[in-house]
Structure 1
Amino acid sequence: MDTIPVMKPWLDDAEAKAAAEAVSSGWIAQGPRVAEFESAFAAHIGASQGVALSSCTTALQLALHLLGIGPGDEVVVPSFSFIATANCVVHVGGTPVFADVEPQDGNVSVRTVEPTLTGRTRAVVVVDQGGVPADVEPLRRLCESRGIHLVEDAACAAGSQYRGAPVGASGLLAAWSFHPRKLLTTGEGGMLTTSDEQVADRARRLREHGMNISAATRHQNRQPVIESYLEVGFNFRMTDIQAAVGLVQLAKLEEMVQRRRSLAAGYQAMLADVPGLRTVQDPAWGESNFQSFWVELDHDFPLTRNEMLTVLAADGVSARAGIMAAHRQPAYRGHGHGDLSTTERLTDNTLILPLFHAMTEAEQAVVVGVIHRAAGLRAA
């Protein structure tokens, strides 16, 4: 029996050809294709600057470094997120402070963030979880009133909309992921977008060891160039091979979003009457790209979340447990936190259903049929 995967990137001959052309060009490290991808991605989401990086994790770390976060500084992050969101705070020497999330969308809000703020809070990281846009503007106003920086972890949100504009368009710093689980993939890779040209220029130096001139510019120069290193930097570079793939993927992004939203609407309609099951929805302030389609099971559903995962697997459906609670992980054992009851409830009771561009209606019907039978309903 073929397994229906939880996610499958939309890759074809166009990406293979673009990667091969990058290899044939002889320029495979960070170079002209990276610069082109930066400009194209930034333009697509409405930011003035893009800085291509090795991952979203390094993008978040670099964002906090650019803000001067260090020892003694607190950064508020959701526990309901992949652990990298919290880890990036630790990597720059800061202390992550876990905030709870709203039950409807799994995102932080003013209500959940404000109680965590102290005199040591230097930044808040807001995550667009699973591609569902967080309500960023009220959080930005809160942070500005306290002199606190706001960073958007938009890892999952390429193609999502917030108040009629692309997610991440208006922020000082937003971090993006191009991991294969995301809509737009470069294999591994990430991007930092910003509205500040000076911030972008410094980020480009720091990603390349703090060098005052990029390696690409140095190698293209006909005269010898003696570079200097203006500050301690990192090796967070993206390759031209990855960027070549990213450019092809970017051209497909709108079609990917439309297809995923159509499939998500199908799930919402077919699962609407299942007792004890709630599907993720668009919030009032935006539209999701549905990078992940999650459902929550409550006490009226006859199976636990883990039992439902087992039943789906037995019928050839690859689903996943919902988003982790980072504060429960061994890496953060003993790390103090306040009330995270919504995070824990969502972590324990949500699962992610298959959703990918090439998914067929027949495959979706199989997934829905398994859930209907588990809920004791007749097949549709």
Structure 2
Amino acid sequence: MSTIPVMIPWLGEEEAQAAAEAVRSGWVAQGPRVAEFERAFAEHLGVPHAVAVSSCTTALHLALLVAGVGPGDEVVVPSLSFIATANAVAYLGATPVFADVERATGNLTPATVEPLLTERTKAVLAVDQGGIPVDLDALRALAEPRGVRVVEDAACAAGARYRGRPAGASADLAAYSFHPRKLLTTGEGGMITCQDGELAARLRRLREHGMSVSAADRHAAGGGAAVVETYDEVGYNYRMTDIQAAIGLVQLGKLPAMVARRRELAERYRELLGPLAETLVTDPAHGQGNYQSCWLLLPEGAPERTEVLARLAEAGVSARRGIMAAHLEAPYKGTARVPLPVTELITGRSLILPLYHSLTEQQQDTVVAALRSVLG
């Protein structure tokens, strides 16, 4: 029996040709295609600046760094997120402070964040969980009067909408992922968007060892001794390659179709699942999700999730455990300052269903029939 996977990237001949052209050009490191991808991504979001990097984790690291986060600071984060959200805070010597989330979206709210704000709080890292947009305006209204920055972890959110705009477009700083589990993929890769030109220029330096003049600019100026760069602060090697950017440009053109298809399939899940769909993740009042992850909570009295996953696999369906909780993992175990009951409920009982562009209705019927059989 062939297995229905939980996710397949929508990649094809057009991406293969774009990557091959980058290889044939002789410029495969960060260069003109990265710059083109940055311009196209910024235009797509309607923001002034986009800076391509090697992953969303490095994007988060640099975004928090330029937001002023450093040793001794605290950053409020959801525990209900991939561990990279908390790790990016720890990279800077700061402390991730775990907040609970609301059940409907899996996202932070002012009510879950406010009790954790202290005089040491430097930022709030607001995640668009599973591609469901966080209510950024509400968090900024809480945080900014206290001098606390809000950085958006939009890792999953490319193609989602917030108050009529692309998710992340309203943030001072937002970080996106192009991992294969995301809608828009470059294999690995990430992007930082920002509103401030000076911050964007600093981000470009930081991603390239702190270099005052990029390798591409030196090449354009004739190389050699024509341009001599300086290194004015400690930087990192967080660059994206032109091969990745070439793929990203093709993927960006497909993004609207990806979102439309995933939303169509998510709605069909809702119809097919009947009462089981009561806990299927859905749009918040303030926006539209891209269904990067289509997750639901297993009902009371259901078999243990490990058993559910095993029995689905026997039926040819590859599902996944739901979103992890960082405060339950070894590096952060025992550090939560407040109870996190919703986080622990969602991480313990959520299940991610197969959802991807090429999923057929017949395959979706198979998924639903298998889930109904397992859950009775």
TM range (shorter): over 0.9
> CA separation in 2, counterparts of 1:273 and 1:118?
42
> CA separation in 2, counterparts of 1:11 and 1:215?
30
* Paired AA for residue 56 in structure 2: C
Q: Answer yes or no: is the 8 Å Cα contact 1:180–1:187 preserved in 2.
A: yes
Q: Counterpart of 2:188 in 1: which secondary structure?
A: coil
> CA separation in 2, counterparts of 1:308 and 1:278?
16
> CA separation in 2, counterparts of 1:202 and 1:286?
31
- Could you tell me which residue of structure 2 aligns to residue 81 of structure 1? 81
Deviates more, 1:367-376 or 1:125-134: 367-376
- Could you tell me which residue of structure 2 aligns to residue 279 of structure 1? 280
Q: Answer yes or no: is the 8 Å Cα contact 2:312–2:374 preserved in 1.
A: no
1:302 shift after superposition: 3.2
Q: Answer yes or no: is the 8 Å Cα contact 1:127–1:134 preserved in 2.
A: yes
- Could you tell me which residue of structure 2 aligns to residue 312 of structure 1? 312
- Could you tell me which residue of structure 1 aligns to residue 232 of structure 2? 230
1:22 shift after superposition: 0.2
Is 1:112 the equivalent of 2:112?
yes
1:335 shift after superposition: 2.0
**Superposition pairs of residues 181-260 of structure 1, within 5 angstroms:** 181-222=181-222, 224=225, 225-260=227-262
RMSD over aligned CA atoms reads 1.1
1:304 shift after superposition: 2.7
1:298 shift after superposition: 2.7
- Could you tell me which residue of structure 1 aligns to residue 62 of structure 2? 62
What is the identity percentage for the equivalent residue pairs of Structure 1 and Structure 2? Answer: 60
1:331 shift after superposition: 1.3
> CA separation in 2, counterparts of 1:87 and 1:139?
21
* Paired AA for residue 282 in structure 1: D
Q: Counterpart of 1:230 in 2: which secondary structure?
A: coil
- Could you tell me which residue of structure 1 aligns to residue 13 of structure 2? 13
- Could you tell me which residue of structure 2 aligns to residue 362 of structure 1? 362
**How many residues are paired up?**
374
Superposed CA offset, 1:171-202 (max 9, x none): 11000000000000000000000011111011
- Could you tell me which residue of structure 2 aligns to residue 169 of structure 1? 169
4+ residue runs over 4 A deviation: none
- Could you tell me which residue of structure 2 aligns to residue 270 of structure 1? 272
1:306 shift after superposition: 2.2
- Could you tell me which residue of structure 1 aligns to residue 296 of structure 2? 295
Superposed CA offset, 1:61-89 (max 9, x none): 00111122111100000000000000000
> CA separation in 1, counterparts of 2:96 and 2:149?
14
> CA separation in 2, counterparts of 1:61 and 1:136?
20
> CA separation in 1, counterparts of 2:39 and 2:302?
50
Q: Counterpart of 1:281 in 2: which secondary structure?
A: coil
Deviates more, 1:310-319 or 1:172-181: 310-319
Q: State the TM-score, normalizing by the size of structure 2.
A: 0.98
Q: State the TM-score, normalizing by the size of structure 1.
A: 0.97
Contiguous gaps of at least 5 residues in structure 2: none
1:359 shift after superposition: 0.4
1:227 shift after superposition: 1.1
1:371 shift after superposition: 1.4
Q: Answer yes or no: is the 8 Å Cα contact 2:276–2:299 preserved in 1.
A: no
Superposed CA offset, 1:240-259 (max 9, x none): 00000000000000000000
1:114 shift after superposition: 0.5
> CA separation in 1, counterparts of 2:257 and 2:242?
24
1:303 shift after superposition: 2.1
Deviates more, 1:151-160 or 1:301-310: 301-310
> CA separation in 2, counterparts of 1:302 and 1:352?
15
Q: Answer yes or no: is the 8 Å Cα contact 1:186–1:242 preserved in 2.
A: yes
Q: Counterpart of 1:273 in 2: which secondary structure?
A: helix
* Paired AA for residue 258 in structure 2: M
- Could you tell me which residue of structure 1 aligns to residue 33 of structure 2? 33
